[in-house]
């Protein structure tokens, strides 16, 4: 008897859909790729054919320039890949355009989640639970210790720090794709309607989100602003700018950072973060285990993060599971 799901094969640089010769989020250039979302560890340039959602293709266009061989797949559209394999992109709730990929072949259904979260996010479509035989889940925060608080609580802490420090700028490090826009949209939802200031590196992705229908309110560039005008203002920058010379143009900035890793105190200290905001675009432990239970697949493959604890959890629950060792996935996004 052939091994179950032998038509999808984990290789070190990605998942290979063998009969159609497609790769999912390959870490090196291939002829035919399916890309779950625009983060750099999933979306790379240089493939012959790239199938992704229109939003992901637009994000890749901003990052890599317009690619030859880009083919858009709408959420829910069943795309033939050849040799009896079909792919359907299903929303993953991670960042704008992010998708799980449902593969169907020979009567079997495989869902590859890419990165995902279950918490609500005003900047993207929610995760859709999709029944399948094999569920390939990410495990970035796959330890019971990881628990992401409600985002409203973290936004309230940020606004409170601003109120308490009218003479200082609040400088928030956030990844340029997804985290920055979610942070801004949540500040708007909390009633913060004043201008939010951006490091130049954040501008293009914020504009693209707005073009794709995600309103972010009044955004201004820090460049050219007199230092004093930024007292009491919220400034969003890439995490790498928190501790570089660039931040000296701000009045006594309070360094904040929006990341799931901010739950780890040592990480916050390392990055000199005074105001750690635990805001993640991934599922935490509870959401990972709830999702596996809800999808209830015959088999689960675990990849992209801390695989051992989730593997053990599956085994204790009599769930068939296996940890994959794929390379090239670093948390650009968290
Ligand atoms: Zn990722
Ligand atoms: Zn991601």
pLDDT tens-place string over residues 106-156:
999 999 999 999 999 999 999 999 999 999 999 999 999 999 999 999 999
The mean pLDDT of 184-205, rounded to a whole number, is 98
> How many A from CA of 27 to the centre of ligand 1?
12
DSSP per-residue string spanning 207-250: HHHHHTT-----EEESTT--GGGGTT-EEEE-GGGTTSGGGGGS
Q: Residue 101: inside a domain, yes or no? A: yes
Read off the pLDDT band of 228 (50, 70, 90): very high
Is 139 within the bounds of a domain?
Answer: yes
Give me ligand 1 centre to Cα 328, in Å: 10
Same domain? For 138 and 167 the reply is no
Collect all residues with Cβ–Cβ distance below 8 Å to 269 and sequence separation of at least 6: none
Which residues fall inside 5 Å of ion ligand 1, going by CB? 41, 115
Q: Give the closest ligand to the alpha carbon of residue 116.
A: 2
> 159: CA distance to ligand 1 center in Å?
29
pLDDT tens across 4-19, in order?
A: 799 999 998 899 999 9
Considering the domain architecture, whether residues 141 and 163 belong to the same structural domain is answered as no
Q: Which domain holds residue 116?
A: 8-145+282-323
Helix/strand/coil for 158: helix
pLDDT at 246: 95
| CATH code for the domain of 202 | 3.40.50
Q: Which ligand is nearest to the CA of 138?
A: 1
Closest ligand to Cα 330: 1
Find the mean pLDDT for residues 150-174: 98
Query: Is the domain of 222 the same as that of 317?
Result: no
Coil, helix or strand at residue 294: helix
Position 331 in a domain = no
Ligand whose nearest atom lies closest to the CA of 41: 1
Summarize pLDDT for 239-261 with one digit per residue, the tens: 999 999 999 999 999 999 999 99
**What's the CA-to-centroid distance between 171 and ligand 2, angstroms?**
23
- What pLDDT score does 325 carry? 74
pLDDT of 1 strictly over 50: no
Distance 288 CA to ligand 2 centre (A): 15
Does 328 fall in a domain?
no
């Amino acid at each position: 008897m052939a091994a179950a799901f032998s038509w999808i094969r984990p290789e070190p640089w990605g998942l290979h859909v063998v009969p159609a010769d497609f790769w999912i989020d390959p870490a090196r250039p291939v002829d035919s790729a399916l890309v779950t979302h625009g983060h750099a560890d999933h979306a790379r340039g240089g493939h012959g054919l790239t199938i992704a959602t229109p939003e992901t293709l637009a994000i890749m266009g901003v990052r890599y320039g317009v690619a030859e061989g880009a083919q858009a797949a709408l959420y829910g559209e069943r795309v033939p890949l050849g040799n009896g394999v079909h792919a359907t992109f299903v929303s993953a709730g991670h960042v704008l355009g992010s998708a799980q990929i449902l593969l169907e072949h020979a009567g079997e259904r495989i869902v590859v989640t890419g990165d995902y979260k279950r918490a609500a996010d005003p900047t993207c479509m929610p995760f859709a639970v999709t029944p399948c035989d094999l569920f390939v889940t990410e495990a970035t925060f796959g330890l019971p210790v990881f628990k992401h608080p409600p985002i409203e609580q973290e936004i309230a802490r940020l606004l409170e720090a601003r109120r308490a420090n009218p003479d200082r700028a609040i400088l928030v490090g956030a990844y340029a794709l997804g985290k920055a826009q979610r942070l801004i949209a949540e500040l708007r939802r909390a009633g913060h309607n004043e201008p939010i200031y951006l490091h130049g590196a954040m501008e293009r992705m914020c504009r693209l989100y707005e073009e794709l229908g995600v309103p972010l309110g009044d955004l201004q560039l820090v460049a050219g602003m007199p230092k004093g005008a930024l007292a009491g203002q919220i400034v969003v920058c890439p995490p790498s700018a928190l501790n570089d010379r660039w931040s000296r143009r701000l009045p006594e900035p309070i360094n904040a950072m929006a990341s799931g890793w901010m739950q780890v105190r040592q990480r916050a200290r390392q990055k000199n973060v005074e105001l750690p905001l635990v805001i993640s675009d991934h599922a935490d432990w509870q959401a990972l285990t709830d999702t596996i239970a809800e999808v209830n697949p015959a088999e689960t493959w675990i990849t992209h993060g801390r695989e051992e604890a989730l593997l053990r959890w599956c085994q204790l629950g009599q769930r068939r599971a296996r940890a994959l060792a794929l390379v090239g996935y670093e948390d650009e996004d968290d």
